[in-house]
A and B are shown apart, each in its own frame.
Chain A
């Protein structure tokens, strides 16, 4: 039986290998420059090869039926090879941000792709833990349906309460302050930076209404508190899961745009490089 090393040990080992590879690349490139060789081509093709491998992870997931190794190994390779591209890219551009339009675009795309990858790594390491801390787990695809059911159930209880108690205090409050919160999904800003400000606001307003309610209405108000809490949980989980999915979209868009520009960059570099051609 293969013994699985602890995560911390594995990370240390992989990081050490990445640092050693970086040192090796720096020495090779330095030696090439000392020999007046055009190190831009060797670093460029090394970068291209690594980027192709990194993008191949996307296709590996699509071709799950092929025996190409497990996704966990691919993920580890993806992370540490991506880290390796940073010094390689620095060596390629000689630690100087290019000042031509096309090359600036290319460098910006690389940096944005790298940054989105780092962001994604942070998200995939922290968000699942935050999701696991929630009381209930919801599938992302089912959240709209559950939200709809919650909205329908809340509306029905409000109508029943108004009929039974002969008071429209809660119904008015629902229409004025709560309906929009319960029925509408939250915006992109909330998805990116989820917070409880809105929930606290409506909760405080509902609490301030408490002294005007009868005993029976207070029971109904408690049900509204639970609905608000559930809606907030739904929004929170939707935000986290949406961010987890969306960063990948951004990462993929940038990666493919980068790959397209790299292809053109290779053509241009070969056509316009100095020398005897």
Chain B
């Protein structure tokens, strides 16, 4: 290897790689030793600059341009040759600088264009939405798709920059209100119908309930060292985007979270189903959405063999649906063959609206109550119960309410002491109130029931309940009965619907002239009046006397005919039937259909084994402890863990658990 030989005649030997410009004559080997200026202008340094020496003008042309010329300058000192100026060339450094600046300017220009152009949202969108969201936002009415989910979609670029610097952006008054909302709030605006009010809380569970569950878990797993570490807002709510990551394509699973992410908050880690998941203690539970308390064990072991002499087959009532995973329950007709007769017999006493008590008119006269109008054959010793419905109606009577409150529900005139002046006075007040009630009912029974029950309950009675309770209730019938009782005292003319004329099997409102009773005879299962009466007793009220009366009346034999099978809870709208589709989400779910594919699981009893007679006491205890206890033996975890391993059927948390619980309806 040899170094490039040094050429002493090369006047441009000193390279200036850091300079911005180079002489344009450099390539031809005639580079000007001065070089171009910083701005890339040739100074013409090699040109002749004539000098005056002793009165003569001398040429000073540089040797790089051929040295002094023969002709020399003109007499006036002006060079006779045309000036030579090169075209300076940018050095590599200058070219690099220009290209880098061009790259920055080009990128900035593209971004500015992208901010202002009509396609700016498409350009900035980080990726396609999932199918469901994309469909909702593809409607022609949606003008700004981004703003549907992102508050920043209604802001300007400067406001975005301000939010980066944590400067509170000012939302112009003309902009959408969503600009002031958070993204999570916008999510919940659309999903309000499908999620519970506590949707953003962990598991959509209200904070108080979550605290209770956490404390229970801490008691069960005292050595647990895990705790919630997720970033929440001041209310302890988790942003939707923590778990639901959008813009990952149309088929992206928005609900996917890993087992590790699930166990992040939990008191103990559930990294692996077989080894870490706690043993099922009471699974399966009775469905919280099912209002029917069906005792499988007693039907299997006792009722079916004894009464029907038949085998108890699961498939008689439960059939897998083709359309969904839900196992359908058959209707009441399946039960009617055994239960209908018992229901009719058990409800034959009926619901009494009016019942005239026996009054001791002598005792009343003794304290100065003369000529008290009362049917003659209802006079004698004090006797007769204050019927529940009548008691509730009398609570709205100003004269009798105080006495009723004193006597309480379940009072009986038999308890009135004829020698006690105050007691007789009270009995007379109640009797008068009963007569007044009867007269009012004879005018407009529906209005009287509504007005009096609303007054007594201190709240409005729902229209459906009143409608059911007054089904078939005729004011004429009540009026005629009263007329017969109070004016044709000894020749009571039975109405066409009196007990004597009507078959005891036919349901309806009736008058019993002998016992001076106006009552309703239920017509067996699902009788509307009886249903209305029970729903009235389930209405939540604040009045303690009425609430006590409701509780007492719910235990009556008449109501027990229904509540033996129907598990009802206080509510404005009692749930009587099992929903055909269970739309509510509980924490744990189970899909039967994938399991029924396996031959060994097609027999229901391979998993669901009813308690045997020996387990009866255990079952009773469990039932007493919790209304959700099942009448089946608990399934042990190992039954599931045999297949549900990581590499077989899977052991992902979300296979069996919902995150958002109590989902009511799917989003429209």
Contact = CB atoms under 8 A, between A and B. Distances in A.
A36 B152 contact: no
A100 B122 CA distance: 8
A72 interface: no
Contacts of B103: 252-254, 256-257
A102 B96 contact: no
A272 B150 contact: yes
Given A145-B10, A272-B150, 18 more contacts: A33-B258, A35-B230, A37-B231, A100-B126, A100-B247, A101-B123, A138-B4, A140-B92, A144-B26, A145-B26, A148-B27, A248-B96, A267-B157, A271-B150, A271-B160, A272-B152, A275-B184, A275-B242
Contacts, number: 159
Nearest to A99: B127
Interface of A: 33-38, 96, 98-103, 132-142, 144-145, 147-149, 152, 245, 248-249, 252-254, 256-257, 260-261, 264, 266-268, 270-277
A257 B26 CA distance: 34
Contact of A148 (B28, B183, B230): B28
| Residue from A133, A134, A260 having most chain B Cβ neighbours under 10 A | A260
| Residue from B107, B161, B244 having most chain A Cβ neighbours under 10 A | B107
Given A137-B1, A274-B241, A268 B261 contact: no
Interface string B19-42: 000100011110100000000000
B99 A249 contact: yes
A80 to B, nearest CB: 24
B151 A100 contact: no
A267 B164 contact: yes
Contacts of A249: 95-96, 99-100
A141 B17 contact: yes
A243 B374 CA distance: 122
A249 B95 CA distance: 9
A30 to B, nearest CB: 8
13 contacts: A35-B261, A101-B124, A145-B27, A148-B28, A252-B96, A256-B100, A256-B103, A257-B103, A261-B107, A266-B164, A271-B159, A271-B164, A276-B239
A257 B122 CA distance: 21
A3 B164 CA distance: 48
B230 A36 contact: yes
A101 B264 CA distance: 34
B114 to A, nearest CB: 7
Given A260-B104, A274-B239, A267 B161 contact: yes
Contacts of B231: 37
Interface in B233-271: 233, 237-244, 246-249, 257-258, 260-261, 264
A100 B114 CA distance: 13
B239 A98 contact: no
Given A264-B111, A276-B184, A132 B122 contact: no
B155 interface: yes
Contacts of A98: 126-127
B12 interface: yes
Contacts of A36: 230, 238, 242-243, 257, 261, 264
A267 to B, nearest CB: 5
A24 B24 CA distance: 55
A253 B3 CA distance: 34
A65 B397 CA distance: 103
A274 B183 contact: yes
Nearest to B184: A276
A268 to B, nearest CB: 6
B2 A135 contact: yes
Interface of B: 1-4, 10, 12, 15, 17, 22, 26-29, 31, 91-92, 95-96, 99-100, 102-104, 106-108, 111, 114, 122-128, 146, 150-153, 155, 157, 159-161, 163-164, 182-184, 229-231, 233, 237-244, 246-249, 257-258, 260-261, 264
Contact of A103 (B27, B126, B260): B126
Contacts of A275: 182-184, 239, 241-242
A254 B107 CA distance: 10
A144 B29 CA distance: 8
Contacts of A34: 258, 260-261, 264
Contacts of B12: 145
Nearest to B119: A101
Contacts of B10: 145
B152 A96 contact: no
Contact of A102 (B126, B160, B242): B126
Contacts of A267: 157, 160-161, 164
Nearest to B22: A141
Contact of B248 (A37, A96, A257, A270): A96
Contacts of A272: 146, 150, 152-153
B241 A102 contact: no
Contacts of B100: 249, 252-253, 256
A98 B125 CA distance: 10
A134 B4 CA distance: 11
B104 A257 contact: yes
A96 to B, nearest CB: 7
Contacts of B4: 136-139, 142
Given A141-B15, A261-B107, A270-B160, A102 B243 contact: no
B258 to A, nearest CB: 7
| Top 3 A-B residue pairs of the complex, sorted by shortest distance between their CB atoms | A274-B241, A271-B160, A253-B103
B99 A253 contact: yes
Contacts of B249: 99
Contacts of B146: 272
A147 B238 CA distance: 72
A276 B238 CA distance: 9
A99 B125 CA distance: 9
Nearest to A37: B231
A204 to B, nearest CB: 28
Given A37-B231, A148-B27, A268-B160, A101 B122 contact: yes
| Residue from A144, A148, A248, A276 having most chain B Cβ neighbours under 10 A | A276
Nearest to B241: A274
B242 A245 contact: no
B243 to A, nearest CB: 7
Contacts of A270: 160, 163-164
A273 to B, nearest CB: 7
Contacts of B155: 271
Contacts of B246: 274
Contacts of A136: 1-4
Contacts of A33: 258, 261
A30 B239 CA distance: 20
Contacts of A254: 103
A84 to B, nearest CB: 24
A138 B264 CA distance: 65
Contacts of B241: 273-275
Contacts of B244: 274
A147 B29 CA distance: 9
A96 B157 CA distance: 28
Contacts of B26: 141, 144-145
A277 B183 contact: yes
B29 A145 contact: yes
A274 B184 contact: yes
A94 to B, nearest CB: 8
